[in-house]
Structure 1
């Protein structure tokens, strides 16, 4: 596994705002491309069709968005999923469960006691919470699941329904890969420090006056934010998630046993 990225050259970074009120921030300065290599598969690599209609080879967005989302997920990814619940999260059975849960939510919203409805909804939803990588800011998005057991982190992707003009948007259509937990952590750490190091160089250039004078940027805030972001990986790794798995399983079983009201 390798999380790759390329920052857009500083002179080509497009500032935000109107022509008379242009600005940039730490977030905006991370503009670039990113992709994740998993063996022979690359997540966030656009298909040949997508490239013919205007996409680049890889996802074109602020790198820190991927960085923030993965670090936000990290505590949940590294909390092992109990073996009995894997079938409700992973693979085809996971898809079937999500369809069942969605039907149940629609059926029961007006029938079940409100407190009980939301209790079951929240508990059942905690199984997948923060285990799907958010990419809703992309059009189309990518469907990527990351979870772990006691030994490995499993990465699954299913982009078979992600299309542009009816044709596949991503080269990574469907598959999965598992890697040892410690290797996954090492790559997340590597990604973090590679981004921080490259941004340190970029900030030094900005402080030295590399941006056009018409682009506003708060240099003091920029440097302070960089200092704060340096600790993001350490903070994410130290954040321990404790899901009440027994309660989650009971909620899932209750939903699974419920009859479909619409068919009655």
Structure 2
């Protein structure tokens, strides 16, 4: 499977505290998906922490040792972020832009120079030009904003292939490499990618359906409030959102405007070419 997860046992999940309610403790559907998420692709796991950084963190005061070498967070957040990307991923890049991004190192260097141009240009419209030139790429970047040091992962498609690229070679903390998978790229048929997205959602929904049923029968942590009705409503709602995301494709880019913005930057800074 491409997308993998494991949920924590319910008795190991930390409750949420509500200051406006005298710090009362509660858990909801999102919180109950606390666990670990990872990707298996091309023999690598882009969300796997390096052993070096795990050893480094283990030396910190009050460090806790995770049973898995992945981030400890609500799995639903990863699912939500992926579904947010899916419409853009499934909208294929024009052939000229697909060719432009095909050389990972050259494309990375181009983006660095474009960012430098944006910062140093005295033209008031430089930021707008930069956004027009690269927003389509940003919308295909898995941001993982909840992570303190996120990996760099991009996903895009051509007519019949989805590409997944990662590059974590320069992501360090205290001089220690954070991520185990340094860099790589894998392409798969678009239909297989769609199946993997559907599988991720179905497995998460099924796992949570079992969890909700168990909580309805018996909740062993009475000091933590749970709204059963809200759990059931959220379960029903979450079961619908995967297909909704797969049914949308972003086609909101004026590709001629993108090309014009790129051409403008390249004309102003010759070494961008």
| Fold equivalence (TM over 0.5) | yes
Q: Of 31, 35, 38, which residue of structure 1 is paired with 2:38?
A: 35
* 1:103-114 → structure 2 map (5 Å cutoff): 103-108=116-121, 111-113=122-124
In structure 2, C-alpha distance between the alignment counterparts of 1:30 and 1:211, rounded to whole Å: 17
In structure 2, C-alpha distance between the alignment counterparts of 1:6 and 1:107, rounded to whole Å: 46
SS in structure 1 of the partner of residue 45 of structure 2:
strand
* 1:141-220 → structure 2 map (5 Å cutoff): 141-220=150-229
Q: Residue 30 of structure 1: CA displacement? A: 0.4
What is the CA deviation profile of residues 49-71 of structure 1, one whole-angstrom value per residue up to 9, with x for unaligned ones? 12223364122211001100000
Q: Residue 118 of structure 1: CA displacement? A: 5.1
What is the CA deviation profile of residues 161-220 of structure 1, one whole-angstrom value per residue up to 9, with x for unaligned ones? 122331211110011111111101100100000000001111112222324111122222
Stretches of structure 1 that go unaligned for 5 or more consecutive residues are none
What is the CA deviation profile of residues 223-262 of structure 1, one whole-angstrom value per residue up to 9, with x for unaligned ones? 11111111111110111211221211111111221249xx
Q: Which residue pairs with 2:257 in the alignment?
A: 247
In structure 1, C-alpha distance between the alignment counterparts of 2:34 and 2:131, rounded to whole Å: 35
Q: Is the 8 A contact 1:100 1:256 kept in 2?
A: no
In structure 2, C-alpha distance between the alignment counterparts of 1:20 and 1:100, rounded to whole Å: 49
Q: Residue 2 of structure 1: CA displacement? A: 1.5
Q: Which residue pairs with 2:6 in the alignment?
A: 6
Q: Is the 8 A contact 1:148 1:154 kept in 2?
A: yes
SS in structure 2 of the partner of residue 125 of structure 1:
helix
Q: Of 216, 222, 231, which residue of structure 2 is paired with 1:222?
A: 231
Ranges of 4+ aligned residues in structure 1 off by more than 6 Å = none
Q: Residue 89 of structure 1: CA displacement? A: 3.8
Q: What's the C-alpha RMSD, in Å, of the aligned pairs?
A: 1.9
* 1:18-57 → structure 2 map (5 Å cutoff): 20-52=23-55, 53-54=57-58, 56-57=68-69
Q: Residue 127 of structure 1: CA displacement? A: 2.2
Deviates more, 1:55-64 or 1:199-208: 55-64
Q: Which residue pairs with 1:257 in the alignment?
A: 267
TM-score under structure 1 length normalisation: 0.90
Number of aligned pairs? 256
In structure 2, C-alpha distance between the alignment counterparts of 1:140 and 1:248, rounded to whole Å: 30
TM-score under structure 2 length normalisation: 0.87
